[in-house]
């Protein structure tokens, strides 16, 4: 009897505790409900009786044609969230000049399965994005492209030159003027309290070898490394300064650390290290694909476009693919077998194309 009583007390205590937690979490809501009923302010008018306070659309479909929202401007542009450079459709509030939403550009082949021809009027293109054809004609932006909207107004944007004023990794920075930036970069000095640092004036020596024991390294001016992660049009301008004016040969852009490994590997495989020829899957006619160290729709270039192509290819019963990687890819599905990395797995996969079949690629096996 004592055990039963203790059990009952325990159940009762748990129930009371749950009610207390529930009441505490909803106390503010309950208070608002009673206040609204008492004062007659429980309901507030919204901007629209159907869409409430949602963002007004960029326009409406009409039997006579597309009716644009006069309060918004639609701009077709290009994304720079990564080097895929997809197309974007940006909606801008005419009064505040603020960007309201970022979506896909239907004219861009990387943002649309069947991109619209340039001769198609914008009003007709926007009209095709809605209604019954909305899903089929939808032009999209990936998560990174959509978050560019937040990046425009992010408080963490660097708008002025920043100089480290503490130890490396200490996270201590100070805003400086562009004049101070140019002076310190050119003249050098004890800039960080850690000893003298050579500036561009001291480094620009076109006669003294960088290392007399290794003359192939060139002159001391090659101590300057200039890298560019901006758009392609800036490369030529920056090269004029770095190589033609200053004299360094050490210039690199995003291709040197982004896709070079893939392109150099493909170039070596195809015997063309001058152009680094590389391939892309023929998704419309492909029956089997083997991805080594890359995951379609998760990586690669253009990953968003290939994600749509992969989804379309998976609608065909005869299509199968294998991703050889340490972890399970995000595009893994229930009908696909996960093949973890192990000794000889890469060679076994490649042998499949030589008449061997160590892995079971039959329909239903993957």
| Ramachandran sector of residue 338 (left: φ over 0; alpha: ψ -120 to 50; beta: rest) | beta
pLDDT of residue 307: 84
CATH code for position 138: 2.20.25.90
Are residues 193 and 179 in contact, defined by beta-carbon separation less than 8 angstroms? no
Distance CA 192, CA 150 (A): 33
Distance CA 161, CA 175 (A): 6
Instruction: Assess whether 7 and 81 both reside in one domain.
Output: no
> Residues in the chain with pLDDT < 50?
1-2, 353-356, 358-366
pLDDT of residue 41: 53
Boundary-marking domain end, from 119, 152, 185: 152
pLDDT of residue 160: 94
**H or E stretch at 166:** none
Domain contains 46:
no
Give the chain's radius of gyration (CA, Å). Answer: 30
Distance CA 300, CA 261 (A): 12
pLDDT of residue 73: 94
Which residue do the tokens 């944007």 mark?
A: 157
Are residues 79 and 145 in contact, defined by beta-carbon separation less than 8 angstroms? yes
Distance CA 220, CA 204 (A): 7
Nearest residue to 56 via CA among 91, 22, 81, 30: 91
Instruction: Please confirm whether the linkage preceding 295 is cis (ω < 30° from 0).
Output: no
Domain contains 365:
no
* Number of residues written out for the chain: 366
Domain contains 76:
yes
Are residues 366 and 335 in contact, defined by beta-carbon separation less than 8 angstroms? yes
Instruction: Assess whether 81 and 130 both reside in one domain.
Output: yes
Which residue do the tokens 């004299």 mark?
A: 247
Instruction: Assess whether 19 and 74 both reside in one domain.
Output: no
pLDDT of residue 1: 45
Domain contains 60:
no
Q: How many domains does the chain have?
A: 3
Residues 112, 117, 118, 124: is their CA dihedral positive or negative? negative
Compute the half-sphere exposure of residue 357: CA atoms within 13 Å on the CB side of its CA: 6
Are residues 122 and 76 in contact, defined by beta-carbon separation less than 8 angstroms? yes
Nearest residue to 125 via CA among 135, 113, 138: 138
Which residue do the tokens 């690199």 mark?
A: 252
Domain with 306, as residue range(s), is 275-354
Tell me whether residue 145 is exposed, middle or buried, using C-beta atoms within 10 angstroms of its C-beta: 0 to 12, 13 to 18, 19 or more.
Answer: buried
Give the number of other CB atoms < 10 A from CB of residue 259: 16
Boundary-marking domain end, from 152, 185, 203: 152
DSSP 240: I
Domain contains 243:
no
Distance CA 72, CA 100 (A): 9
Instruction: Assess whether 34 and 99 both reside in one domain.
Output: no
pTM, rounded to two decimals = 0.68
Which residue do the tokens 């329909």 mark?
A: 363
Instruction: Assess whether 27 and 73 both reside in one domain.
Output: no
Compute the half-sphere exposure of residue 63: CA atoms within 13 Å on the CB side of its CA: 0
Boundary-marking domain end, from 95, 125, 152: 152
Domain contains 104:
yes
Domain contains 73:
yes
278, two tokens: 């590389």
Q: Give φ, ψ of 164 to 5 degrees.
A: -70, 130
């Amino acid at each position: 009897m004592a055990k039963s009583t203790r059990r009952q007390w325990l159940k009762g205590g748990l129930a009371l505790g749950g009610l207390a937690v529930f009441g505490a979490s909803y106390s503010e809501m309950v208070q608002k409900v009673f206040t609204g009923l008492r004062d007659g302010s429980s309901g507030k008018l919204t901007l629209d009786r159907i869409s409430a306070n949602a963002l007004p659309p960029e326009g409406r479909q009409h039997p006579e044609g597309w009716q644009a929202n006069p309060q918004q401007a639609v701009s077709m542009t290009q994304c720079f969230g990564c080097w895929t450079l997809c197309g974007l459709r940006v909606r801008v509030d005419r009064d505040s000049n603020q960007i309201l939403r970022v979506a896909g550009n239907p004219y861009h082949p990387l943002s649309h399965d069947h991109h619209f021809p340039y001769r198609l009027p914008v009003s007709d293109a926007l009209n095709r994005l809605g209604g019954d054809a909305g899903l089929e004609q939808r032009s999209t932006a990936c998560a990174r492209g959509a978050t560019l909207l937040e990046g425009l107004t992010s408080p963490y944007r660097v708008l002025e030159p920043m100089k480290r004023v503490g130890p490396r990794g200490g996270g201590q920075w100070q805003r400086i003027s562009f004049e101070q930036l140019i002076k310190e970069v050119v003249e050098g000095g004890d800039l960080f309290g850690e000893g003298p640092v050579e500036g561009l004036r001291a480094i620009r020596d076109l006669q003294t070898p960088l290392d007399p024991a290794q003359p192939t390294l060139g002159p001391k001016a090659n101590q300057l490394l200039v890298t560019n992660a901006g758009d392609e049009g800036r490369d030529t301008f920056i090269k004029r300064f770095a190589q033609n004016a200053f004299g360094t040969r050490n210039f690199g852009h995003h291709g040197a650390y982004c896709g070079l490994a893939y392109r150099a590997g493909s170039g070596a495989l195809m015997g063309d290290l001058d152009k680094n020829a590389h391939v892309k899957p023929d998704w419309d006619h492909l029956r089997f694909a083997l991805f080594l160290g890359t995951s379609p729709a998760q990586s690669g270039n253009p990953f968003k476009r290939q994600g749509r192509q992969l989804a379309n290819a998976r609608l065909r019963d005869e299509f199968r693919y294998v991703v050889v990687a340490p972890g399970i890819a995000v595009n893994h599905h229930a009908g696909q077998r996960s093949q973890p990395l192990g000794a000889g797995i890469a060679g076994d996969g490649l042998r499949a194309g030589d008449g061997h079949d160590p892995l079971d690629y039959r329909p239903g096996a993957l």
